[in-house]
Structure 1
Amino acid sequence: MNEPTTGPATESRTRPSAHLANLDLNLLVTMRALFRERNVTRAARGLGVTQPAASAALSRLRRHFGDELLVRTQGAYVLTPLAVQLAGQVETVCAATERLFATGSAFEPATSRREFTLLMADYPATVIGPHLSRLLAGEAPNCSLHMQLVREVIGGDATDTLRLVDGVISPALGHFQVPGAASAPLFRDRWVCLVAAEHPLAAADRFGTDELAGQPWVVPYHRDDGYPSAAPATRQLSALGIRPHIAVRVESYRAVPDFIAGTRRVALVPARLAATLSEDAGLRTLECPTALEPLDEHLWWDSSHDQDPAHMWLRSLVRRAADRLPALVP
């Protein structure tokens, strides 16, 4: 990597005030384009500005953040660690700003070009995503959807999260029970055990929690900071009285099968997700020895959107997508 010998990253300067009145908010749009394209020329073309104008905006951003943001390596530009951190934030802020100025007394799905942002784990995205995609394409072909995937359990900042997106699809966790949060139920699921086809439990006529307790586990979204965790699967294990030996932690439900196949590991996964696995995946789905609490997925949103016609349409779209799910097999 060719590191610059001089420039914003190597100079000592006081960062300008971040007060909103002192900022050029056009830089948000430029920053988003630069981070998406990772190329000044392509970003300028997408923004409809000249390449020198985009370069000048990048220079201003570098001065503000005291960081190169984009650096050239092996003939291509890559994001610096700070830019990687900023990239997700600028997408969220731009989407929220666009929603703010798109709010009005009327909304026509067939002609609108509004972008909607939904935050969820990859499990509900897998389950509801195809139905939501088809409904969106049919009713609002010019609208766009930013399906933002959760990378960890949503913590105590749920209130701020709801303000920055159109909606969150999540179980009814306690931190969403806050003033200003509204919700609607979407669909229900149940937990099943997932093992490799050659796992001893796969051939057992029956097994109990004692057998499960002694297995190595694959657990999604488990924070390594104590037990029990807020992760849905580990909360269910805690209800069974199991404190698992966690062999693999992953930040994705869909990654779980990859770390089960060909091993002696076991996992709890939603039944609707298990049903999407192909028969030749080398995995077996087993019923849990004890009934567990069902997994109730809700759509959550900030109640300030309640009377926004576009948001009302979006909520209807998500609910109708959930209604298209097949009945859950007992």
Structure 2
Amino acid sequence: MNLTNLDLNLLVPLDMLLREKSVTRAAARLGLSQPALSSSLARLRRHFGDQLLVRKGNAYELTPLAAQLRPRAEAALIGVRQAFSAHPGFDPTTSGREFRVAASDYVVAVLGAAVGRILDERAPGVRLRFEPSTASIVDNAPESLRHVDGMMLPHGYLRGVPHADLFADSWVCVVGESNDQVGDALTMDDLRKLPWVFTYLSATAFTTVARQLQALGIEPRVTAVVESFLAVPHLVAGTDRIGLLQGHVARLLSGVDGVRILPCPFEPVPLVEALWWHPMHDDDPEHRWIREVFAEAGRALAPAP
């Protein structure tokens, strides 16, 4: 295909039409008139030899070809933006770049303050946008990493992509202060008989230490599931439930009323948190700089309790 014969201006309307599945909404998002966007849609239909959007009832649906094009158009547009926003050098004091990072509330709580201080001191115009690292994002990590500047995950979920280790952590148990079934220390029998609150309980979304319990012959009786580590103490306080938390989070929550932090009655698997990114960012000077910011913030953490 000869790219010189293509109108790359059609890439933006193609991406928005496939996102919105509506000429009206896509035109509003792009600040264009409906006739102008309808003209673009007609040209796209001629190019692909496909309707792309077909009416079904009162709405439009993507054709099979359009469904294939949607992630490709988004990735192409991101690539174009990155190519044309590149600079020969990078001065953090004058940069206004926004970095998008997928991360759990745990990582944001642990590293957020330190990273924020570094940016305030050295790059006041730089903005960080933290987005939740959902199960679907992690499951489709090779493709997801094309759309963000990085993903914060511990080792054990991703392989074959660049990463930088940030900090090590441990696991502890959390129980309610009013839970009179637990003494000064938890026992393995407590883990078997008491109810649990789990984070990320599905076939692909899980914590490694939760899987370790099963390897130890314990099938936890899970009565609450939450996709947030910081919410765990609130689902434990005033109940008989047990929860698992990272040591750094436990330190932050040590003053929370209604909960006790206790050592696990087994040796939990260690946790090493890392920043992962797509190889296309390897030589980007701005990206190298933000990677070092996160690494510096991780090095500044005190050892996990």
Quickly name the TM-score band, shorter chain normalised.
0.7 to 0.9
Q: Which amino acid aligns with 1:247?
A: T
Q: CA deviation at 1:316?
A: 0.6
Listed one character per residue, the Cα deviations across residues 95-128 of structure 1 (whole Å, up to 9, x for unaligned) are 6653343233311111122211111111111110
Tell whether 2:220 aligns with 1:220: no
Q: Distance in 2 between matches of 1:103 and 1:124?
A: 28
Q: CA deviation at 1:64?
A: 6.6
Q: 1:285 to 1:21 in 2, by over 3 A?
A: farther
Q: Distance in 1 between matches of 2:35 and 2:112?
A: 38
Q: Which amino acid aligns with 1:121?
A: S
Contact between 2:185 and 2:262, CA under 8 Å: does it hold in 1?
no
Equivalent residue for 1:169?
Answer: 152
Q: Distance in 1 between matches of 2:250 and 2:7?
A: 51
Listed one character per residue, the Cα deviations across residues 49-103 of structure 1 (whole Å, up to 9, x for unaligned) are 6xx7489769989x97669xxxxxxxxxxxxxx9xxxxxx9xx867665334323
Equivalent residue for 1:210?
Answer: 189
Q: Which amino acid aligns with 1:24?
A: L
Q: Secondary structure at the match of 1:24?
A: helix
Out of 263, 270, 273, the residue aligned to residue 287 of structure 1 is 263
- Within 5 Å, which residues of 2 pair with 1:1-330? 24-27=10-13, 53=33, 98-152=81-135, 155-173=138-156, 175-178=157-160, 181-202=161-182, 204-223=183-202, 225=203, 230-277=206-253, 279-329=255-305
How many residue pairs match? The answer is 281
Contact between 1:195 and 1:283, CA under 8 Å: does it hold in 2?
yes
Q: 1:137 to 1:285 in 2, by over 3 A?
A: same
Contact between 1:152 and 1:251, CA under 8 Å: does it hold in 2?
no
Q: Which amino acid aligns with 1:188?
A: A
Q: CA deviation at 1:280?
A: 4.4
Q: 1:205 to 1:284 in 2, by over 3 A?
A: closer
Equivalent residue for 1:6?
Answer: none
Contact between 1:111 and 1:142, CA under 8 Å: does it hold in 2?
yes
Q: CA deviation at 1:268?
A: 0.9
Q: CA deviation at 1:276?
A: 1.5
Q: Distance in 1 between matches of 2:120 and 2:221?
A: 44
Moved more, 142-151 or 156-165: 156-165
Q: Which amino acid aligns with 2:192?
A: A
Q: Distance in 1 between matches of 2:272 and 2:108?
A: 15
Q: Distance in 1 between matches of 2:35 and 2:240?
A: 54
Structure 2 runs not aligned, ≥5 long: 1-5, 42-50, 56-61, 63-70
Listed one character per residue, the Cα deviations across residues 138-159 of structure 1 (whole Å, up to 9, x for unaligned) are 2222222111111337544221
Moved more, 191-200 or 108-117: 108-117
Q: Distance in 1 between matches of 2:174 and 2:159?
A: 31
Q: 1:56 to 1:187 in 2, by over 3 A?
A: same
Q: Distance in 1 between matches of 2:38 and 2:239?
A: 49
Q: Secondary structure at the match of 2:134?
A: coil
Q: 1:260 to 1:30 in 2, by over 3 A?
A: same
Q: CA deviation at 1:189?
A: 0.9
Q: Secondary structure at the match of 2:92?
A: coil
Equivalent residue for 1:7?
Answer: none
Q: 1:198 to 1:54 in 2, by over 3 A?
A: farther
Q: Which amino acid aligns with 1:291?
A: E
Contact between 2:199 and 2:206, CA under 8 Å: does it hold in 1?
no
TM-score by length of 1: 0.70
Q: CA deviation at 1:25?
A: 3.4
Q: Distance in 2 between matches of 1:29 and 1:137?
A: 35
Structure 1 runs not aligned, ≥5 long: 1-19, 68-81, 83-88
Q: Percent identity?
A: 34
CA-based RMSD of the aligned residues comes to 4.0
Q: Secondary structure at the match of 1:297?
A: strand
Moved more, 150-159 or 306-315: 150-159
Q: Secondary structure at the match of 1:176?
A: coil
Q: Secondary structure at the match of 2:129?
A: strand
Listed one character per residue, the Cα deviations across residues 160-207 of structure 1 (whole Å, up to 9, x for unaligned) are 12222211111111x4112xx1111111111101111011255x1333
TM-score by length of 2: 0.75
